[in-house]
């Protein structure tokens, strides 16, 4: 690769960063242990929020995640937070790749990035797991649940993340933020949406004062499974970092993990009709509320 050329991605696209190959190679050799030469750099087709690249150096491969270029939203694309939480989780029962280097803002790519080891495995994009036999599906979801339990069992203070995330009621923060976002982008009055916001405000779970680590996007395609077993070998950590009351965690995590498959079924049965989905959602919430009351 010559100076200022783009690297080509695994999907045929080009990288989002312009860089000098020799300068980047020299930087990596100086900051990543046993890194020799930069033979190839390829952009993964996913990881668009923070561009992600596969680096090849001799017989070894690494992963580089970088802030995108250009003007960024405040508090967005915090690759340093990703690096910090994965480094902190090393040695726990949460499967994360080994962190190798975190750069500053002044780099050959023009943005902050970090380097981690390359983990090989499988990603299941369809939560129904149609390619797997029934016993394997159960085992895969058992492993998914086990990793979630391991994550919630980590004491943030014990692993150096006592200041990581905001204190207070996680659900209250999330509801306030997304209600405000909805109202700011509202194009028409939707009585069902207003009803749902009101119902959620009236049924917030009380904060118990304890804290734990939350994954804000915990779903099956955000983790990597071993090639020849159902073990999870890597958890996607771009959405890790919030703290929440322990009493909130099981409900939040279970609801979000099931959300994709549940929504998929609803949309199929309702043929994509919003009114049918709304009615089902309202009935489910009301039924849940009655069950909690009893």
DSSP 36: -
Tell me the two tokens of residue 90.
């090393």
Give the pLDDT of residue 73. 61
- Same domain? For 160 and 26 the reply is no
CATH of the domain at 151: 3.90.1200.10
Give the pLDDT of residue 271. 44
Residue 153 forms part of a structural domain: yes
Among 117, 150, 173, the domain boundary falls at 117
- Same domain? For 32 and 153 the reply is no
- Same domain? For 101 and 170 the reply is no
List the chain pLDDT tens, one digit each, 294 residues: 334 444 444 444 445 677 888 999 999 999 999 998 999 998 887 655 788 899 999 889 999 998 876 665 655 677 888 899 899 999 899 999 999 999 998 899 888 999 999 999 999 988 888 899 999 999 999 999 899 889 888 888 899 888 877 777 778 888 998 899 888 888 888 888 899 999 999 988 777 777 778 777 788 888 999 999 999 999 876 666 555 555 556 567 667 776 665 555 444 544 444 455 455 555 655 555 555 444
Among 54, 82, 117, the domain boundary falls at 117
Q: Exposed, middle or buried: residue 182 (CB in 10 Å: 0-12, 13-18, 19+)?
A: middle
DSSP 248: T
- Same domain? For 272 and 156 the reply is yes
Residue 207 forms part of a structural domain: yes
Q: Could you tell me the sign of the dihedral formed by the alpha carbons of 38, 234, 140, 91, in that order?
A: positive
Give the pLDDT of residue 249. 61
- Same domain? For 156 and 111 the reply is no
Cβ atoms of residues 115 and 101 within 8 Å: yes
How many whole angstroms separate alpha carbon 114 and alpha carbon 242?
21
- Same domain? For 142 and 247 the reply is yes
3-state helix, strand, coil in the chain (%, to 5): 40, 15, 45
Give the pLDDT of residue 45. 74
Residue 2 forms part of a structural domain: no
Give the pLDDT of residue 152. 85
Give the pLDDT of residue 277. 47
Residue 170 forms part of a structural domain: yes
Tally of domains within the chain: 2
Question: Helix, strand, or coil here: 116?
Answer: strand
- Same domain? For 191 and 58 the reply is no
- Same domain? For 193 and 262 the reply is yes
- Same domain? For 149 and 99 the reply is no
- Same domain? For 182 and 272 the reply is yes
Residue 221 forms part of a structural domain: yes
Residue 9 forms part of a structural domain: no
What is the pTM (predicted TM-score) of this model? 0.73
Domain assignment of residue 112, given as a range: 21-117
Residue 206 forms part of a structural domain: yes
Give the pLDDT of residue 221. 86
- Same domain? For 149 and 237 the reply is yes
- Same domain? For 227 and 156 the reply is yes
Among 90, 117, 144, the domain boundary falls at 117
**Among the listed residues 40, 49, 39, 38, the one whose alpha carbon sits nearest the alpha carbon of residue 16:** 49
CATH of the domain at 111: 3.30.200.20
The secondary element (H helix, E strand) that includes residue 243 is strand 240-244
Residue 1 forms part of a structural domain: no
């Amino acid at each position: 690769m010559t100076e200022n050329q783009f690297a080509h991605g695994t999907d045929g696209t080009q990288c989002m960063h312009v860089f000098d190959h020799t300068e980047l190679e020299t930087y990596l050799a100086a900051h990543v242990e046993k890194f020799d030469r930069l033979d190839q750099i390829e952009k993964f087709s996913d990881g668009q929020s923070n561009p992600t690249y596969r680096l090849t150096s001799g017989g070894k491969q690494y992963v580089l995640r970088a802030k995108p270029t250009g003007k960024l939203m405040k508090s967005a694309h915090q690759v340093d937070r990703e690096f910090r939480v994965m480094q902190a989780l090393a040695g726990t029962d949460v499967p994360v790749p080994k962190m190798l280097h975190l750069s500053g803002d002044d780099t050959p790519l023009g943005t902050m990035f970090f380097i981690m080891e390359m983990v090989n495995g499988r990603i299941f994009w369809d939560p129904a797991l149609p390619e797997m036999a029934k016993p394997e599906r159960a085992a895969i979801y058992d492993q998914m649940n086990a990793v979630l339990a391991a994550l919630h069992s980590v004491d943030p203070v014990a692993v150096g993340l006592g200041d990581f995330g905001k204190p207070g009621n996680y659900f209250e923060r999330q509801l306030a933020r997304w209600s405000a976002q909805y109202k700011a982008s509202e194009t028409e009055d939707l009585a069902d949406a207003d009803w749902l916001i009101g119902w959620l405000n009236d049924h917030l779970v009380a904060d118990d004062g304890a804290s734990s680590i939350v994954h804000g996007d915990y779903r099956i395609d955000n983790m990597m499974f071993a090639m020849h077993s159902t073990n999870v070998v890597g958890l996607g950590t771009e959405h890790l970092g919030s703290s929440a009351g322990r009493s909130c965690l099981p409900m939040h995590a279970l609801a979000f993990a099931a959300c994709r498959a549940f929504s998929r079924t609803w949309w199929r049965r309702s043929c994509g009709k919003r009114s049918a989905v709304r009615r089902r959602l309202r009935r489910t919430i009301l039924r849940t509320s009655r069950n909690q009351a009893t």
